[in-house]
Amino acid sequence: MLPTAPAPEGVDADRTDTKHSVLYVGFGHGAPRPLDNSQSADPDTALRQLVDGSSWAAMLRCAEQARAATDWIMRVRHHPASSQAVLMALVEDPGGPMALQALRAGADVVVGLRFVTPVLQAQLARLRERVAPAPAGWLGVAPGSTLDAQTRELRCGERREALQPQLFRLMWALCERPGRVLSAASLRVALDIPARADAQALHTAVGRLRRVLRPHGLDGHLQTLHGSGYRWTGVAPCAPGIISARKHS
């Protein structure tokens, strides 16, 4: 059983102009949100945000409306676009029958309603690795240019440039899938953009990355497809072993 502590007090009302990456589905109960960077949402709204990718995780209170909560978990799991979303069930007794029902329905983890906030945050961080694994190895991004995960360096011939963490994650996400259009929602998850960040945060990050790439002549590889997302393109064939060190032991 997880350590217990008094449930946190309520927080300020949600901002309505920003979608949060972690949702809280209370199923009719007026309890305050467990984390201040989560967004209270009704079940249908929460499902839509998990499906469109603007949210990657949901915490749901499984107490007063247990059947409705487990039914909702199964709805999330049965939808192809949200089947991999992280679901955390908050229950009265983590060792009781409701916890077992939530896990059988498809919840990733159950946590007691009286929890230690750092434990809840640690659980989400651990589960997030499944949604957006940490970069490892290195990628060929263009002829003569590579991206190193260990040092967060862009290497263009003899030139090396250390990238700021967020810009590195953005470039890695794009270069790992050359030619594929990545939606803004999926990139926000990959970059771990804070839940309350401005809607233009991703656009700003893309602009910053382009400025970093310009001296190396790589900015043209980063394309914006308005209304669709972003794409890294134009990677020429590389020598064996250059594409990704993930294939190596």
Is it the case that residue 73 has pLDDT exceeding 90? yes
Decide: pTM greater than 0.85. no
CA distance linking residue 150 with residue 195, whole number of Å: 26
The C-alpha angle with vertex 81 and arms to 76 and 84, in degrees rounded to 5, equals 65
Question: Do the two domains 22-131 and 138-247 of this chain adopt the same fold?
Answer: no
Q: Does domain 22-131 bear CATH number 3.60.21.10? A: no
Confidence of residue 240 (pLDDT cuts 50, 70, 90): very low
pLDDT in tens, 12-68: 333 333 345 788 887 755 555 666 667 788 899 889 888 877 788 898 888 778 889
CA distance linking residue 9 with residue 35, whole number of Å: 10
The percent of residues above 70 in pLDDT, for the chain, comes to 75
Residue 59 bridge partners (DSSP): 24, 88
Question: What is each CA distance from 28 to 56, 184, 201, 234, in whole angstroms?
Answer: 22, 31, 33, 51
pLDDT in tens, 184-218: 877 877 776 654 556 688 888 899 999 999 999 99
Query: What class has domain 138-247?
Result: mainly alpha
Q: Where are the domains of the chain?
A: 22-131, 138-247
CA distance linking residue 191 with residue 173, whole number of Å: 8
pLDDT at position 210: 93
